[in-house]
Amino acid sequence: MLTSIPAVAVLSPWRTLAAKVLDGSDVSKTEALAILNSSDEELLDLVNAAFEIRKRNFGKTVQLYFLMNAKSGLCPEDCHYCSQSKISDAPIPKYNILSRDKLLEGAKLAAQRQSKTYCIVISGRAPNEREIQAIEKIVPEIKQTYGLNICACLGLLNESQAQRLAAAGVDKVNHNLNTSQEYYPEICTTHTFEDRIETLKNVRKAGLALCSGGIIGMGESRQDIVEMAFSLKELSVESIPLNFLHAIDGTPMQQKEYLSARDCIRALAMFRFVNPASELRIAGGRERHLRSLQPLGLMIANSIFIGDYLTTQGQAPSEDYRMIEDLGFEITGQAALPNSSESTCSESTCSESTCSQTTCTQTGGTGSSGNQCQTPSSSDPTRSSCCG
């Protein structure tokens, strides 16, 4: 005969810490480090606690971002993780800023994929005048046509450049801190952590939202990861993309992959606890490092990139839509297409690899037409991470 199960009044340490965050208190660096040091046995408790914080701030919503690699390679900097740097031998395409038509084509695909935000990214230390002008010209057109939010990732920015981007209608600027101040010289010698902070301050002064995150798995210590999370907190960054190093042959970090999927979950949880109200995006390396634990990651983070990354290939969008649906989550804030009759593929069997429709949304089944999909790709699969 079944007897009633006694109520358990004691919360796990992670639920207790989440309750503290939900009450408006900050976690300490010691507590943040304890999250990264927690055991595999505690993992589900940790996810559950981080989910409470996610739920309070973002409910069950997921925001999709779409990346457009608007200029590739040709960079004089030496970021050791990046295939576009001057010290990388990775065989990557090199091109200058894309034409208006290509940028618009990407925006259309972003809208079709239910993205809220279109990220325009160029390689390089800082934008030149021609590049700033190109952004000033295209942003109003994209916003008017597709209603997308625009995030610009253009490298180091001075105050005047940031103000020009704001005047053009850019919503947010991405410039990642990437790691801690102390570890930064180990990943780049041609610019400094302080240079990056200054850019973020210039962006803030111009009234723009900040998108800034980092890369985990570059040989940094757990303390470095904590320091980065707290630097982002100090800057009140609205949006945090967290990348997991996808080591690319030809870069100085080509041998550096050591993260487990559980390490990635712990890192996401720590960022959620330290920056509870910031949008947290699982960025590059999601599929490669989280693998079958991606849904656990999305219970902590509230945003992902849909489709390919700047420099590496993502999983098919249909798999992401399926994961979101299976979790009982919903995509939020997606842009409206100007002409809905052109917005979706009419093929019920459409798939990314076989659809013949130029307006393919790539959400469908197995495909049967045998034709190659005509939709443009946001990135080349052989390239590695960028400016961010």
The structure tokens 């069950």 sit at 60
Largest CA distance in the chain: 78
Residues 6+ apart with CB under 8 A from 307: 66, 67, 109, 113, 314, 317, 377, 378
Nearer to ligand SF4 among residue 141 and residue 195 (C-beta): 195
DSSP 277-289: TSEEEE-TTIIII
Residues 269 and 255: their CA atoms lie apart, in Å, by 26
Residues 24 and 123: their CA atoms lie apart, in Å, by 39
Please give the residue ranges that form the binding site for ligand SF4 (CB under 6 A).
75, 77, 79, 82, 84-85, 123-125, 155, 386-387
Strands (E), the chain: 61-71, 117-122, 149-153, 172-174, 209-211, 214-216, 239-244, 279-282, 303-305, 330-331
Nearer to ligand SF4 among residue 123 and residue 361 (C-beta): 123
Instruction: Look up residue 156 and give its two tokens.
Output: 């180091």
Nearer to ligand SF4 among residue 284 and residue 367 (C-beta): 284
Residue 279 contacts residue 63 (beta carbons within 8 Å): yes
Q: How far is CA 167 from CA 48, 86, 114, 119, 137, in A?
A: 42, 33, 26, 17, 11
Taking the complex as a whole, how short is the minimal distance between the CB of residue 85 and ligand SF4, in angstroms? 3
| Residues noted as catalytic | 75, 79, 82, 119, 151, 211, 281
Taking the complex as a whole, how short is the minimal distance between the CB of residue 78 and ligand SF4, in angstroms? 7
Residues 6+ apart with CB under 8 A from 345: 355, 357, 359, 360, 361, 362, 364
Taking the complex as a whole, how short is the minimal distance between the CB of residue 220 and ligand SF4, in angstroms? 16
Nearer to ligand SF4 among residue 67 and residue 75 (C-beta): 75
Nearer to ligand SF4 among residue 18 and residue 119 (C-beta): 119
Residues 76 and 238: their CA atoms lie apart, in Å, by 29
Taking the complex as a whole, how short is the minimal distance between the CB of residue 103 and ligand SF4, in angstroms? 18
Residues 229 and 36: their CA atoms lie apart, in Å, by 12
Residue 104 contacts residue 156 (beta carbons within 8 Å): no
Taking the complex as a whole, how short is the minimal distance between the CB of residue 202 and ligand SF4, in angstroms? 16
69 bridge partner residues: 121
Taking the complex as a whole, how short is the minimal distance between the CB of residue 59 and ligand SF4, in angstroms? 34
Taking the complex as a whole, how short is the minimal distance between the CB of residue 171 and ligand SF4, in angstroms? 21
Nearer to ligand SF4 among residue 13 and residue 252 (C-beta): 252
Residues in the chain: 388
Residues 380 and 358: their CA atoms lie apart, in Å, by 19
Nearer to ligand SF4 among residue 69 and residue 294 (C-beta): 69
